[in-house]
Structure 1
């Protein structure tokens, strides 16, 4: 008995119908580039089962009534596919990545450098419009190669996007599409942009290999690089670093061994090294080759001043002390 015969016999979804929903959910989620739940590396059948259960609870009896319109197995499969795709799309809109996608696509739609291809792909106005064959890993690695741009977080939930954030988002999107050699799905493009700015769970983002970290991609934009970076790049970058990242960089500046750095951070050696690597990657991505040396020099000064204050006053550990240290450092110059 197939899913259609089962529906006709019992008047409701049973084993075959449920399996049809799970299979179509898994296929749609993978083919349309929806991020796996909880930052998992890949959609698995249990993820699809969770989505189907949520769909059943949300739609209730209305779902069964809509399925009863099917006249054959083929029509039932088409109906299930449509229902699943719409449910995934609606669910994605409520996530942070979904909100970023709406923002990013709105910005691209008003920028003459980008064109929408079909319903869910974006290309460059002067580039190829055939579907790109690049997967998320390749797109994310391209995005991580864009340097000298920074996103001021958190993004505002209402009103227009600030000019620096507009330029940062579009610079990365332009680079990703340009290196994709074709039109990129909006969902995949958004995930790559989100990965560049640290908006995805770290374990779900492919790390760049040695060949990628050595090559910087020039960020295109209407103005020079310092339009986005600004004259206080080190101060802004200092604010973006976590407490542990600042302490790790302070240890590196003092040329402490990995074991001693681990003791300072209260972490294992691998974790401490990973924190330091993450901090260095943030610095690399936030600067261009031309300004890297001067920004790093100023950043180290800020961190060492902050680290001295943090050691003497345990209550001064984040935003307030960071602002104070940055102001003192500027007044010293």
Structure 2
């Protein structure tokens, strides 16, 4: 089938029978191998579920999608890789959008029941502190709010449930960060933006992990050096190295277990639960201070630290 689907696209400016066949085949491959949930109303990735996904993707992307496919590919092989990347990225966005909606409903209910916060009605719901002047709206860069979120210290989420009641410690952490972010904003912030800030601060909605073999242009990716798929910048590696050097052997051991129950970690340290919990709390606080004071992206530095902790001594 070499050249068939791509030649159709070049000749007609749209997908023909061969192009649709290729798109559906790649769609089934991506949907069934990447660990993403099927569309609402489907219990599994049936052919109908895949077709629904592809229809939704093309409808949203519009004519530019096919134009991009044509401009970035030269034959059927590169077109197949382009389809794979596009479908995979769309599934990532869909998964995050669905989970973000759940997160928004979760914290909006808490904000609505707290007199310190005020809902601002509109086509895009916003939240403000009651102390904010009426009509004050935040219009800055999202990174500023993420930075403000990281500056709220002493809070973390050790367990995140996707259904059921939210644990008290999780509620406390969410509310503390939302309060700090809104104080820094000085006005109403879109609910969607607040959700993105919480995602970044607590890394709540991490998509399914995978290793891509090809870039959009069809070139083979070197997964060890590709920036988009996990390489940590040199600056972050340097900062992580400095933090790592300042950590004790005990702290280095604990780094990979900070999200675990102290009762389970206590056996590793051969200490009691309370003492283990206190040590873990102190390490979290120490890391939070170091990450926010470093001047680099805290997430990139944290990723570099975790990578070091997983390496053999």
Q: Identify whether the pair has TM-score above 0.5, normalized to the shorter chain.
A: no
- Computing the radius of gyration from Cα coordinates, the structure with the larger value is 1
Q: TM-score range by the shorter chain?
A: 0.3 to 0.5
Return the TM-score normalized by structure 2.
0.41
TM score, norm. by length of structure 1? 0.39
